Amino acid sequence: MDLNGVITHVSRKNSLGIEYPSVTEKLISDFEYYFKHPKVKAIVLQVDSPGGSLTSCEEALKYLQKLKEKYPKPIVASFRSMAASGGYYISMIADKIYANESTLTGSIGVISQFFNISELMDKYGVKMYTIKSGRNKDSLSPFREPREDELAYWQDMTDEFVGQFTNVVEQSRGDKIKVNREDVFDGRVFSGKKALEIGLIDSIGTLHDAIKDAAEMGGIEDEEPYIIKKPKEKNDVFNLFFANISEAIKPKSSLPFPYDEIMSTKYIGVPMYIYIPNYNGVN
């Protein structure tokens, strides 16, 4: 099964207006299918995600943990090009993690972004009048300079949220991390090779390696284990047909990363477990 893209509860639409379940909804639905399937002995999760909404990641992981407790089955994660921030966070459900040497891994941290246009307003003589019920009701408004106490308040909240993230990592991999926590929990991403050295993953390997390992962990002795895939519903096949048409006719983005989805106004000021290139360092 796959975890692809930005993790949110927001349903997706293609250029033809066909709506798809959100990444979070699909993830939970897929896990439910494989956990409850009587013939599934182990689960392989392919991850290619920069993370996403803090609440979406948190709710998804908690639900998956309950499923795993009720239907105990080994889980092996296989990282593709990226398993960063919330993508790495949800991967803590796995008992073992594989990655490629070039996989961007980690970015353990929280980010919130706000824009400010107060100087631009001053330049053009634009004024904003705000009627508010309390001093902090317009906290970090883009129409005025932020106060120092506001920035400190939001930093404290960010520190609280990152504490939740690091606790999850500690519970899953605390005994495997081989370096000082300050060198890992500072938001940077690592190559897969470096992630192995410091203990963020267990092995460098391909999806085939992950499947073979999962089969052994599940007690499957067959040399080539049978792979069970969730069947597509009739509507899924119909939507896939039109999705392919949509992809063929829509203009191709020149951006190699879903900036449009991440930087949309609905996420301005929202704490995110997400890696955004050019905002995070790479080691």
The CATH number of residue 252's host domain is: 3.90.226.10
Q: Indicate whether 95 pLDDT > 70.
A: yes
Mean pLDDT to the nearest integer, 224-236: 79
Which residues are catalytic, by number? Answer: 85, 137
Residue 144 belongs to a domain: no
256 has pLDDT over 90: no
pLDDT score at 253: 46
| Model pTM score | 0.87
233 within a domain of the structure (yes/no) = yes
pLDDT at 254: 44
User: What pLDDT score was predicted for residue 239?
Assistant: 55
Q: How confident is residue 133, by pLDDT bands cut at 50, 70 and 90?
A: very high
- The range of the structural domain enclosing residue 41 comes to 2-110+155-274
- pLDDT for 12: 65
118 occurs within a structural domain:
no
Quick check: is 232 in a domain?
yes
Number of domains in the chain: 1
Smallest Cα–Cα separation from 77: which of 221, 192, 237?
192
> Where is average pLDDT lowest: 3-17, 64-78, 138-152, 244-258?
244-258
pLDDT classification of 240: cutoffs 50, 70, 90: low
**Domain-embedded: residue 135:** no
Overall average pLDDT of the 256-265 stretch: 52
